[in-house]
Every structure is written in structure tokens, then in C-alpha cells.
């Protein structure tokens, strides 16, 4: 059954958060899930959509620096309020991603505990 715990584990295995700088200098953050397994990415996308998120889903050709070229599916969450919600409700167990989540929250002016 897909729930927040499942999505947290799936994010920890197949996800990351990153930022890009806009011309104005402001950072634009995104949460990404990426996987070859279309059924798994589909389950995650359906769950997130059912929970009120607005994730995009896109095919991508991965250059495969580690494992060789492959076709993957990518889920992207771009709405900043939804990133805050994801961090609060789902989160991560990976220390490096917890640090990135903290950077996002600081950038958005949210107190970090």
C-alpha cells in the first residue's frame, strides 16, 4: 500500500531536491523522483496527485554515466508551497537530503528546528 512512509522510502532511493538560480537571483527549488520502473513511478505519481500535489511526469533519456544509457521517468514537484508540505509531511531519512531540505526552508524564511 502506498502511503507517506512508502513515498519517503521511494524518495530516499530515487529522489533528490535541487535549486536553480533565476535571473533575479532568487533560488527556484524542485523535488525530483527518477526511476526506470514505470509502474513504481506511476504509483508514486498517483499517490502524490491523490494527496493534492501537482507533480509533472516526464520521460527522460538518462546519459547513464554510472550504468549506461537508459530511459527513465521523472516526477517533478515545482510548487514551492508543495515542497514545504512534502518536507513537513513526508520528509526523508537521508542526512544529506535533510540538510538540503533545511537549506530550502531557510531560503523560504521558515524556521528550522
Q: Span 31-45, mean pLDDT?
A: 94
From the centroid of its chain, how far is CA 71?
A: 18
Q: Span 89-95, mean pLDDT?
A: 92
Question: Residue 104: helix, strand or coil by DSSP?
Answer: helix
54 in a structural domain: yes
113 in a structural domain: no
Global pTM? 0.83
- Residue closest to 96 by CA, chosen among 15, 42, 3, 36: 15
- CATH label of the domain that carries residue 61: 3.10.28.10
* pLDDT computed for residue 44 by the predictor: 97
93 in a structural domain: yes
112 in a structural domain: no
39 in a structural domain: yes
Rounded Cα distance between 61 and 57, Å, is: 13
67 in a structural domain: yes
* pLDDT computed for residue 26 by the predictor: 85
In the chain, the number of structural domains is 1
pLDDT at 109 over 90: no
- Mind listing the pLDDT tens digit for each residue in 48-71? 999 999 999 999 877 767 766 678
* pLDDT computed for residue 113 by the predictor: 52
- Give residue 68's domain range: 4-107
pLDDT at 112 over 60: no
Amino acid at each position: 500500500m502506498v502511503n507517506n512512509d512508502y513515498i519517503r522510502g521511494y524518495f530516499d532511493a530515487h529522489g533528490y531536491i535541487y535549486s536553480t538560480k533565476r535571473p533575479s537571483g532568487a533560488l527556484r527549488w524542485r523535488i525530483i523522483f527518477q526511476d526506470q520502473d514505470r509502474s513504481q513511478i506511476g504509483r508514486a505519481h498517483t499517490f502524490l496527485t491523490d494527496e493534492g500535489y501537482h507533480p509533472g511526469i516526464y520521460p527522460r533519456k538518462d546519459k547513464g554515466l554510472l550504468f549506461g544509457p537508459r530511459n527513465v521517468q521523472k516526477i517533478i514537484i515545482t510548487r514551492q508551497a508543495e515542497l514545504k508540505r512534502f518536507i513537513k509531511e513526508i520528509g526523508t531519512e537521508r542526512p544529506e537530503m535533510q540538510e538540503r531540505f533545511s537549506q530550502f526552508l531557510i531560503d523560504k524564511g521558515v524556521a528550522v528546528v
